[in-house]
Amino acid sequence: MAALSARPCACRVSRWAPPRPLGRAMAPQGPQANVQQAGLSLGSSSGNGRRAAPLAKAARGIAGARAAEALAEVARAGETRSTSRRVADALREAGEELCPGSEGLDALRKQTAGASGLSDELTLDAVRQNLIRQEDSIIFALIERAQYKMNAAVYATETLGAQSLLEFTLREQERTFAKIRRYTDDVERAFFPEALPPAILPALSYPETLHPAARAVNLNAEVMALYLRSLLPALCDAGDDANYGSAAMHDTVALQALSKRVHYGLFVAESKFQAEREVYEPLIKAGDAEGLMATLTNVTVEEKVLQRVKAKAAIYGQDLSSVAEAATGAEGPSTGRYKVEPQEIASLYETWIMPLTKQVQVAYLLRRLDDAPQ
């Protein structure tokens, strides 16, 4: 398979900053920061009586008397039970209600036996609908990452042993997901597949939708390269805000969403092959990669994808405070501020995602007529 072209991304790209070693801890964000600022700590042994009352009062205004009672009970329980214990107890009690008489992992094995991992018919329309849903995941993931600065220290090698913080985070999450069989899915690809433990859940009975050669197609190295060298500098403001943990976490979500979207090209290729076998077979037998790429390309469909992605990015990434201010007349007409510029996400699709997806399709189709994977 030909190497990924090094042509520049159409997005706004800043100079790739040299990595710096980690130096500061992640600053508190979100609910944790809010709780600290309010001086509330349900798990502490002192002052729970004083804190339970204002918490319960606030809850009454939100969810009524039942929520207030539950919140007060949580505050009282904090004197004798740790957070981990309370969460574990809540999980156990809810599990007994939702699945009474459960036999643990044995029950999961019994329910899995004979179950199928796929139910939709492999049609081009069904595949396209799935791709449309994946656009939402990618756009939201990029918007979440864009709230933090570049934080180049996250990608510094040998930060944690021989790994960067991003590599460490990605490896650890992939190990966890492998145990619950994420990577038995036909289009899920781990970035570090050699480090995966066996699944604790029994395998699902997937129909033989793809040719066995599909398992050999993995373009995650290319996905990683485009993300770090082209996408992030265009997406995030330059600089360092010390939110290293948050940046690495959102990087992981975005990378996995991008990888799934790119490798979903396997289903696209198979559905096109089944629909027009007489067109693709001669090209495959001739090893004509360029001919396959030309046949796979549908300019009209690609233009619709770009328009839809740009429209979604404009809606999902809109700064609603400017809309509210315009509605009240505080700022006059809305200035259309965005968390991420819609054109940048559309350019990402045009320059990288769709070309990589077609590379996956070509790589798969070239081996579609093999008797067995090499």
Q: What is the pLDDT of residues 289-326, one digit of tens each?
A: 999 999 999 999 999 999 999 999 999 988 766 655 65
Residue type, 337: R
pLDDT at 232: 92
Q: Is residue 200 part of a domain?
A: yes
Of 67-81, 143-157, 165-179, 209-223, the poorest mean pLDDT is in 67-81
pLDDT, tens digit, for every residue of 199-244?
A: 999 888 777 889 999 999 999 999 999 999 989 998 999 999 999 9
Mean pLDDT on 61-86: 66
Q: Is residue 75 part of a domain?
A: no
Q: Is residue 21 part of a domain?
A: no
Of the candidates 17, 33, 13, 12, the one whose C-alpha atom is nearest the C-alpha of residue 243 is: 33
138 has pLDDT over 90: yes
194 has pLDDT over 70: yes
First to last CA, the chain: 14
Task: For the beta carbon of residue 143, count every other beta carbon within 10 angstroms.
Answer: 19
Q: Is residue 181 part of a domain?
A: yes
* Long-range interactions of 163-172: CB distance < 8 A, separation 24+: 164/19, 165/22, 165/244, 165/245, 165/248, 166/248, 166/251, 166/252, 167/192, 168/248, 169/248, 169/249, 169/251, 169/252, 170/251, 170/252, 170/255, 171/195
Mean pLDDT on 331-354: 80
Q: Is residue 114 part of a domain?
A: no
pLDDT at 23: 39
Q: Is residue 81 part of a domain?
A: no
Contact in structure between 254 and 227 (CB atoms under 8 Å): yes
57 has pLDDT over 80: no
CATH of the domain at 193: 1.10.590.10
What's the rounded Cα separation, in Å, for the pair 156 and 228?
12
Domain span at 231: 124-318+337-366
CA angle 260, 241, 261 (to 5 degrees): 5
Of all residues in the chain, the percent with pLDDT exceeding 70 is: 67
79 has pLDDT over 80: no
Of the candidates 365, 354, 351, 371, the one whose C-alpha atom is nearest the C-alpha of residue 7 is: 351
What's the rounded Cα separation, in Å, for the pair 173 and 181?
13
Q: Is residue 309 part of a domain?
A: yes
Between 315 and 102, residue with greater pLDDT: 315
Q: Is residue 108 part of a domain?
A: no
Q: Is 66 exposed, middle or buried (0-12, 13-18, 19+ CB in 10 A)?
A: exposed
What's the rounded Cα separation, in Å, for the pair 69 and 80?
18
pLDDT at 167: 95
Domain count, the chain: 1
Q: Which backbone phi and psi does 160 adopt, to 5 degrees? A: -120, 90
pTM of the model: 0.70
Q: What is the mean pLDDT of the chain?
A: 78
The DSSP output letter for 203 is P
pLDDT at 340: 86
> With bands split at pLDDT 50, 70 and 90, how would you rate the model's confidence at 99?
confident
- Reading the block at residue 237, the tokens are 């403001």
277 has pLDDT over 90: yes
Between 30 and 347, residue with greater pLDDT: 347
